[in-house]
Amino acid sequence: MTIPMRFGYKASSEQFGPRELLDYAVLAEEMGFDSVFLSDHLQPWMHDGGHAPAALPWLGAAGERTSRVLLGTSVLTPTFRYHPGVVAQAFGTLGAMHPGRMILGVGTGEALNEVTLGLDWPESPERFQRMKEAITLIRRLWTEERVTFEGTYYSTSNATIYDRPETQVPIYIGASGPAATRLAGRMADGWITTSGKDPALYTDTLLPAFEEGIQKGGREGADVDTLIEVKVSFRPDLEKAKENTRFWAPLALKPEEKTGIHDPIEMQRRAEELPIERAASRFIVSDDVEQHIEAIATYVDLGFRHLVFHDPGHDQEAFLRLYGEQVLPRLRERFR
């Protein structure tokens, strides 16, 4: 199997309500996007104007309103507020209803979405092991009946998922560090990461870790999807394109500036202290379509074959139409 080149739309559940996002997903399909990925948050990054619709019911609704696009989470945490068995049941149902169109993207989680429920927040090595164990259990539940599982963190007793697709839902691992990236290469159907970081992180750390995982798993690289969320702000007015990034200023906070924060009000306070130049630093900000294409091409040249575009503006319809008319045709012509 060789993964084709695909271009997707990031439906920002932290910024828009469920009905709005559903309309945007439908429009994304109409404008020629290949996939729609939804973040799964209990709380948003920004308190004022923020949203956090539940991903699981939304995916079911989106599956009914669309007919072609792939639909997935980028990403869901199957280890704390969700038991892996619940995730297996939910995506078994989604996959049975919409075969071949669902993708389960998983990650190790963020305190923002778990601590507020009174859950403990362990250090990253434990979160990593929990995710690995959860994937193993989910796949067993999709392929076996009456699963009795005794793991370090999770257990089941004669559990059966009664409704599931004939072909398993692909599991992608979201990773921004070498350990999880290596795991994605070794055992996942796809790897999810994000753009806008130091280029050396990709070339010197993440891509070598992914290749190492591929080799350890005895797999072919072309069989594992490489998905990157590309943060873009493309508008005819350059200042408008830059100002649109303001709502997503939390992304520009350094890890030490936001690690352990689980209150959207505090996250918003810290983000609002950033100058607009820093808020925009994670995004490809441009008003020239050819320059925009060249900037996007750097990620294709690195080897990513599934680019999911995240636009920060509140005018998502304008973004989707602009991309569908001016950007996607050029990308397909160049990378077909």
Host domain of residue 115: 6-335
Domain count, the chain: 1
Q: Is 249 a member of any domain?
A: yes
Q: Is 1 a member of any domain?
A: no
Show which residues are catalytic: 41, 110
The pLDDT of 198-227, averaged and rounded, is 96
CATH code of the domain in which 296 resides: 3.20.20.30
pTM of the complete model beyond 0.85: yes
- CB distance 140 to 149 below 8 Å: yes
Q: Is 322 a member of any domain?
A: yes
Q: Is 107 a member of any domain?
A: yes
Q: Is 197 a member of any domain?
A: yes
DSSP letter, residue 281: G
The pLDDT tens digits for 116-159 are: 999 999 999 999 999 999 999 999 999 999 999 999 999 999 99
- The set of residues, in sequence order, having a beta carbon less than 8 Å from that of 312 and lying 6+ positions away, is 12, 15, 231, 233, 244, 245, 246, 247, 248, 283
> What DSSP line would sit under 180-237, residue for residue?
HHHHHHHH-SEEEEESSS-HHIIIIIIHHHHHHHHHHTT--GGGSEEEEEEEEEE-SS
The pLDDT of 303-307, averaged and rounded, is 97
Q: Is the pLDDT of residue 82 over 70?
A: yes
Percent of the chain at pLDDT > 70 equals 100
